[in-house]
Amino acid sequence: MDRFRRTIPLIGSAILMAAGFTGQAAAAPAADLADDARVGRFSGVVATADRGIVRIVDARGDAGAEGNIANGTKVAYALASVTKVLTATAVMRLVEDGRVDLTASVETYLPDYADRPFARVTIAQLLSHTGGVPSLLKDDQGLGDEPLDFEALASPISTNALIEQFSDAPLLFEPGARYSYSNSGYILLGRIIEVVTGAPYYDALDALVLGPAGVSSEFCLCRDLSGYPNATAFERHGDRFLPAAVLDPSQTFSAAGVRATPDGLLKWSEALMSGRILRPETLERMWTPVAATRNPGESFALGWLVREVDGVRQVAHDGTMPGVVSYLVLTPADHRAVFGDLNRTLNLDHITDSEAYLRQVVSSIVAGNAPATVPALARTLDRQPLEGAYRLPEDRSFTLDDDAEGQLWLETDGGWSVLQLPKLVRAEGPQAEKAGDAIAAWAAKGQTGIASHFSPDMLANVPAGALDDTWSQFIDQFGAYRRHHVYSVTSDFAEVRINFERGSMDIGIVYDPQGRINGLQPVGQETEMPATRIRVWLTAKGGLWIDGYAHAGPDVTASIDSDGGLTFHSGQRAVRQSAP
């Protein structure tokens, strides 16, 4: 379910979702996620269905805690917020049958809540996240700032009690004004389905959208799906994966409570695209964009994210909960579906990196490309003399050594991490200077200062004072502003590190073709020093590779010089000082 961790939002007309939809559906790519699994990035399954014929792209790792269940398409996984596409489709079935009116308000179907702020929000606005209903399980929604109580979330709750948690909260904005993701809105939709059909939510879901697809046995609103092995969710803490917090399905209900097999979900997707659940005109209505999200070229329709890539429409939804990330992408014109589910993720402080990782893998498959994100690694550690002490500029040093299992390790001399290397570089040139000037204006004059660098769309879409609030959040979290520098630039994107008293924030700046700022994106933050002793891998091409994903940093690569030194991709050269 989106989102579980406290985030600092940046507002813009084109805030990017890393590794979003890319590329048109194509022939099946050569795929191998073995090295992704080897370094701990990939544990789960990715699969495709072409006109309902399911094919595993790759499945790696253990689905169960005892190591006796292999991940695969016949294992049941938590769908998290991918549940929302099922709920939306059920609502559209009721619309098709004349039992629900998209323009009717919530109070039409839930009269007991007629005096609550959300009563005037329409069904269409709930479906498209434009109703302004404050969201459960997200922060900055006016529902309290207390940490999530996972002990309480593990216990069953009635739907009425769930609704009461947000029913008195004022709307975030006038209904229909803009997009703002709301789990609460989809909980209301689940309750409306119950009232209209006279059946419990899941029974109605089965009758309306699962049964017609012939996949009832592969779905449930439950912790464990009967008749199938069930995946356990894990979170990464250092080099260990520990069981993640378990949420009772009633706590997320029609927003994120459904469990299913990838096989069942992909077959359901084909039934949907084939018109066996909804008529073509209803599908078109459901997939017609309603409101732009903060990602360039992407809109939210009635229950689905929608985007065109090379003239081909893609519809999608992702989901996140502790230890789980899921992502479904359909290309209806090709009758193709791609689904991925991870049952081992980073912890909640860094789970957005797991989201970005799975989006990259699935999007590569959609585009017809190999999904691996890790370079081909050497099968065994080359015994060339790499162990020893190395010195970098600015008086930084580190050592390389290998353990009894042949794993190579890099350890710094303290106070810094090799993962910081790419962000210690200072980019130069007009684009870097322009990005630096924009951040300087933000630091000095707030939103008024940085707004002079905005595109017209950005000016129109950023509420007054929003970026002043964001800067205040930086100060509250990290302390006083110190300095900033630009460390990476392209023609349409720049990355800037902003240093504060107690940490740093990395900001991505998106530019339009005219060179004006068209979006701002948080790309990372550091409040603690990343690991100073980390694994190093030899690549099949003879270089070194360090996995930044495991430590919430960028990947780091280096080539081995003829004199025994190392040259990092970010430009710094390490001179070998001594061998063991």
Query: CA 309, CA 288: separation in Å to the nearest integer?
Result: 15
DSSP 378-433: PSS---SS--EEEEETTTEEEEEEE-TT--EEEEESSS--GGGHHHHS---SHHHH
* Average pLDDT per block of 10 residues along the chain, 580 residues long: 39 31 33 89 97 96 90 98 98 98 98 97 98 86 73 96 96 94 97 98 98 98 97 92 96 98 98 98 98 87 95 96 97 97 94 93 94 88 75 87 88 84 84 95 96 92 91 92 91 90 89 90 72 88 90 86 90 84
pLDDT at 396: 84
The answer for residues whose C-beta is within 8 angstroms of residue 53's C-beta and 6 or more apart is none
The answer for residues whose C-beta is within 8 angstroms of residue 280's C-beta and 6 or more apart is none
DSSP 120-155: G-BHHHHHTT-S-PPPTT-SSSSS--PPP-HHHHTS
pLDDT at 5: 34
* Residue whose pair of structure tokens reads 């240093």 in the numeric block: 499
The three-state (H, E, C) secondary structure of 61-78, written as one string? CECCCCCCCECCCCCEEE
Q: Which amino acid is at 16?
A: L
Query: CA 294, CA 247: separation in Å to the nearest integer?
Result: 28
Distance, CA of 501 to chain centre? 29
DSSP 461-512: HS-TTHHHHHHHHHHHHH-SEEEEEEEEE-SSEEEEEEEETTEEEEEEEEE-
Q: What is the DSSP letter of 207?
A: I
DSSP 156-173: ---HHHHHHTTTTSPPSS
pLDDT at 421: 84
Query: Strand pairing of 240-243 and 53-60?
Result: unpaired
The answer for residues whose C-beta is within 8 angstroms of residue 540's C-beta and 6 or more apart is 375, 376, 377, 378
**Contact indicator for 13, 511 with CB cutoff of 8 Å:** no
Count the neighbouring beta carbons within 10 Å of the beta carbon of residue 478.
21
CA atoms within 13 A on the CB side of 244: 28
Give the dihedral sign, CA 439/444/447/452: negative
Query: CA 504, CA 466: separation in Å to the nearest integer?
Result: 20
Residue spans of beta strands (DSSP E) within 263-343: 291-292, 298-300, 305-309, 312-321, 324-331, 336-342
